[in-house]
Structure 1
Amino acid sequence: MNNNSTIILGIESSCDDTSASVLINGKIISNIVANQAVHESFGGVVPELASRAHQQNIVPVVAAALKEANVSKEELSAIAFTRGPGLLGSLIVGTSFSKSLALALDIPLIEVNHMQGHILAHFIQNDSNRYPQFPFICLTVSGGHTQIVLVKDYFEMEILGETIDDAAGEAFDKAAKIMGLPYPGGPLIDQFAKNGNPKAYPFPIANLEGYNFSFSGLKTSLLYFLKKELVKDPEFITKNKADICASYQHTIIKTLFKNLLKATRANNITNIAIAGGVSANSLLRSELERIGKQEHWETFIPNFEYCTDNAGMIAIAGYYKYLKKEFVGQDITPNARLKIN
């Protein structure tokens, strides 16, 4: 390895995925993710089980990332890790491991905000060589967050609007649970919706001031709607699964773009990106392209592997911090409610 190479080890452990990535001179060389199937039978992430699984997974995942990148730990320039937001027990595992390894190797330690990582995933080298230009607006949609973020620079970001209750990803998963679909239900709703009529059943869209979102009312509306229909026909969900999923998904995506359109027009910005786990949703991706052409936007959609939680996005964020020499000491602690700005 060239002695002048900058090699960053990224570590992500904010929720239930343990991930490690090796980045060399700004390019992701390996990106290993270990999922936790243990939560499926509970219908959602169990924090205590998640932290235990991270303890089991983190050493083999880091070893696999280094091996795939053909890099030894002694060649690392720095270690970047997710400090927050996320589940505290999960964050503690990643933070403690990163601090210990950085101390043992006597190399810099870099803390990364998980949500900034999702946004900066757009700067991972890709085949198209297309990257957002500052300033741009990013719609960040995941299981825990839904935000419209004005991105002025790599680490200068302003939240224009966010959910006041459930995140969009949470609304997907809770709806799937109501319908009796296995966890995680969001991708299944997307799958069933492809064969359904998005206008079969009208669901309400919350009308809030500014650019904030609310999805709790939508979830409650679905619950009461299904209870009412199941009294008439116990097989209602089975018979109409595709139409229910399509209508519910249509309402979530319509809600997201309603506020995104307002924000882009008010701020006169035409570089628009999406990020987070729900950015893998097929309707969200296609609507961004359709509305983007209509509004004359330059649109940016991450590769599927960088949508959900992964260490590649932590490594690229760490790389830009490394260039600025923004390091932290061994007294750093995880922050489950870390703010984006």
Structure 2
Amino acid sequence: MIYHKTPRRVLGIETSCDDTGVAIYDDAEGLLGHVLYSQIKTHQEYGGVVPELAARDHIRKVIPLVDAVLKQTGCDPSSINAVAYTCGPGLAGALLAGSAVAKGLAYAWNVPTIGVHHMEGHLLAPMLEERVPAFPFVALLVSGGHTLLAHVKGIGEYRILGQTLDDAVGEAFDKTAKLLGLGYPGGPAIARVAETGDGTRFSFPRPMVDRPGMDFSYSGLKTAALQATQKNDLDAQTVADIACAFQAAAVETLVIKCERALKHTGTDRLVVAGGVGANLHLRDQLQQTTQRRNAEVFFPRLEFCTDNGAMIALAGCKRLHQAQTEFSFEVKPRWSLEDLPPV
């Protein structure tokens, strides 16, 4: 059943992977508050996310975080008009944990729920800032599970221009960091040691830039990094040099494809979102590229690059007209952006 009341204030819950985020967004006042719990310490010893542990941690943390954000914002549950939650894509168990809590709260508070697409949340995250991109724009969504370029004409009007054919760029960072003994998560670890690396010592491929199109591939780059670790003693300087070369190759590939997408679509605005969007080298290179093209680039603040409840609350607020009072726990571990209806 569709909910016809016009709500204003949305509680957002994010549990797609290994971060538990809760936030409250008001369509008139903006973001009122957000809290986040990271499971990094839980998964570090395994070198990556363990789905069952992630789901259990979400179950333990969501309700305390809801209480915390209500206290932080001074909001009473009676002022919440809808509960948004990440419906997909993501880890099935983690998604179900968030869905169950969202449905339970909505039932108790007598409000509807809104199932949000995780990547749409990332795509809209720059709209949490004062400087908001106008439509249309090209979006680069880069994270541990996703690497894609989309042409965005409006909310829900998405056309995929290119995506990874194998590893996501964030996954390649994580796996390369593991090869170098840098731990998890790999992106920040590689970026940190790359600062002291010699970028000329190793030459890694820029996958698929020698052919037309905007698809990505990172398995070959990961293999090149593996071969470098096998052929060299991994002293501190060598680790830094490999990290520097890997980061340079990964970032340059993204930049080249972004430039192609801007030219292909004829747009002069680029939005970058997802955890890898926090990489400062990537930000610097895209700033230079867009400046050279007389284009603009938009990033969310660093805390909103990784998974968070604020982007889910915002996306839910944009889709209030789709709020429902149906309380099944359906989630969508696989879900294309192109399947979303326009707003």
TM-score normalized with structure 1 length: 0.93
| Deviation of 1:288 (Å) | 1.2
| Deviation of 1:192 (Å) | 1.2
Cα deviation, 1:16-69, whole Å, max 9, x if unaligned, reads 111100112351111101111211111110000000111111110111111101
SS of equivalent residue, structure 1 residue 196: coil
Q: Distance in 2 between matches of 1:175 and 1:268?
A: 35
Alignment-derived partner of residue 233 in structure 1: none
Alignment-derived partner of residue 264 in structure 1: 262
Matches within 5 A, 1:13-162: 13-26=15-28, 27-36=30-39, 37-124=41-128, 126=129, 129-162=130-163
Pairing 1:285–2:287 present:
no
Q: Distance in 2 between matches of 1:216 and 1:237?
A: 24
Residue type matched to 2:79 in 1? E
Pairing 1:218–2:221 present:
yes
User: Would the aligned equivalents of 1:13 and 1:82 in 2 still touch at CA under 8 Å?
Assistant: yes
| Deviation of 1:331 (Å) | 3.0
Q: Distance in 1 between matches of 2:201 and 2:305?
A: 29
| Deviation of 1:239 (Å) | 2.8
Residue ranges of structure 1 left out of the alignment (5+ in a row): 231-235
Cα deviation, 1:233-279, whole Å, max 9, x if unaligned, reads xxx34232222111110000011111111111011110111000000
Q: Distance in 2 between matches of 1:21 and 1:304?
A: 16
User: Would the aligned equivalents of 1:179 and 1:237 in 2 still touch at CA under 8 Å?
Assistant: no
User: Would the aligned equivalents of 1:74 and 1:105 in 2 still touch at CA under 8 Å?
Assistant: yes
User: Would the aligned equivalents of 2:87 and 2:117 in 1 still touch at CA under 8 Å?
Assistant: yes
Residue type matched to 1:213 in 2? F
Residue type matched to 1:245 in 2? A
Alignment-derived partner of residue 335 in structure 2: 338
Residue ranges of structure 2 left out of the alignment (5+ in a row): 1-5, 339-343
Pairing 1:178–2:179 present:
yes
SS of equivalent residue, structure 1 residue 42: coil
Q: Distance in 2 between matches of 1:168 and 1:19?
A: 23
Q: Distance in 2 between matches of 1:104 and 1:199?
A: 60
Alignment-derived partner of residue 165 in structure 2: 164
SS of equivalent residue, structure 2 residue 12: strand
Residue type matched to 2:11 in 1? L
Residue type matched to 2:16 in 1? S
Cα deviation, 1:315-337, whole Å, max 9, x if unaligned, reads 11011111xx1123223511101
SS of equivalent residue, structure 1 residue 186: helix
Residue type matched to 2:281 in 1? L
Number of aligned pairs?
328
TM-score normalized with structure 2 length: 0.93
Alignment-derived partner of residue 3 in structure 2: none
After superposing on structure 2, the runs of 4+ consecutive aligned residues of structure 1 that deviate more than 3 Å are none
